[in-house]
Copies of this chain bind each other. A is one copy, B any other.
Amino acid sequence: MANKNFINNDFADVVLNRHSVKKFEKGFKIPHSELLQMVQQAVRAPSAINSQPWHFLIVDSDAGKEKLDEFMVGPDKALSKGASATIIVLGDTKWYRKDHFDKTYEHYPKEASDFFHKMLDWWVPQLLDSSKDELGSGMDEMLAVNNAIVTMQFVLIARAHGYDANIADDFKREGLVKAFGLDDDRYKPMLFFVVGKADPKEIPEKTYRLPAADVTTFA
């Protein structure tokens, strides 16, 4: 079934020929039904104990873009205006709440559900006190890691749908969540990406990467 969704199912082309695209076909809108399908495919990405600590604020209306413009800075103002949609990836700082976590684990056998709830009771207090966190560096870094992972998968999913994207994290975070009517005690802006149909007149240059041997140590 999945294949049917993808205009481009060539893994090598989708992944290795991905570029950060900054110029998009003006006025082209991705249907909300397709954006939701892309979200559902993107969230197949893994997350710590399947916490799914993310929320996608998809800004594609004129009113939404105008509101968002106040939070965009420098060249990203034009980037957001010109794209089909700007997707603000919000970290869900309350992912462990029953109304989120239990919705996932009610689909699991009781033993599995019980196990993950035990994990939750053990881990969350540590996350909220990063000085005591054995797993990482507290909630902020947990959200940064898990939201970046789903964003990378989202960008590749977009390519398979025939779109291109550009990830950025240069924007004014303060007040953004509230401005869009969401709970700013709960959601924290992590990063964003723009998505749309690449302007065919733009041929993005393949940027250089260091040789693998320079960034690899075998042991």
Contacts and interface: CB of A to CB of B under 8 A. Distances in A.
A69 to B, nearest CB: 12
Contact of A12 (B5, B46, B213): B5
A60 B48 CA distance: 24
Interface in A1-57: 2-3, 5-6, 8-18, 20, 32, 35-37, 39-41, 43-46, 48, 50, 52, 54-57
A131 interface: no
A170 B215 contact: no
Contacts of A14: 11
A209 interface: yes
A180 B20 contact: no
B215 A56 contact: yes
User: So how many copies of this chain end up in the complex?
Assistant: 2
A70 B51 CA distance: 27
Contact of A107 (B43, B190, B208, B214): B208
A122 to B, nearest CB: 11
A182 interface: yes
Contacts of A212: 36-37, 39-40, 43
Pick the most buried of A39, A44, A50, A209: most chain B CB atoms within 10 A of its CB. A209
Contact of A11 (B8, B100, B169, B207): B8
18 contacts: A12-B160, A16-B41, A18-B44, A40-B211, A46-B167, A48-B169, A52-B210, A58-B216, A58-B217, A60-B218, A60-B219, A107-B208, A136-B191, A145-B147, A145-B148, A148-B152, A149-B152, A152-B152
